[in-house]
Amino acid sequence: MGRFIALMILVIPGVIAGYGIKLMRDTIFQIMNTPFPNLTLQFFIGLVLFIAGLSFIGGFIFYRDRKNGKIAPRFQKRKS
């Protein structure tokens, strides 16, 4: 059960990032989706969703690798 929850924690931000890429792609091809009044807003919302999803996944992987000691010494926690 724990692995399934961890998988869902990573899949949901991945889907959000994928939707952000879709919105940016639709803007390039000038396809307007329903909740957005103009293409510029659609592009920036897609960019925000992409960055948010990607940063969550990156932070999750960084936290896991830091916990397991698999990162460079300069990124490891300093002991007080």
Q: Is residue 21 part of a domain?
A: yes
Instruction: Kindly tell me if the per-residue pLDDT of 12 is higher than 80.
Output: yes
Q: Is residue 40 part of a domain?
A: yes
Burial annotation 43-76 (CB, 10 A radius, 16+ → b, else e): bebbeebbeebbebbeeeeeeeeeeeeeeeeeee
For the chain, what is the domain count?
1
Q: What whole-number distance in Å separates Cα of residue 23 and Cα of residue 51?
A: 13
**First vs last Cα of the chain: how many Å apart?**
36
Range of the domain at 49: 2-69
At 14-65, the pLDDT tens digits run 999 999 999 999 999 999 999 999 999 999 999 999 999 999 999 999 999 9
Q: Is residue 77 part of a domain?
A: no
Q: Is residue 8 part of a domain?
A: yes
Q: Is residue 76 part of a domain?
A: no
Task: Write down the pTM of the prediction.
Answer: 0.87
Q: Is residue 75 part of a domain?
A: no
Q: Is residue 16 part of a domain?
A: yes
Q: What pLDDT does 48 receive?
A: 98
Q: What whole-number distance in Å separates Cα of residue 37 and Cα of residue 53?
A: 23
For residues 8 and 56, is the Cβ–Cβ distance under 8 A? no
Q: Is residue 74 part of a domain?
A: no
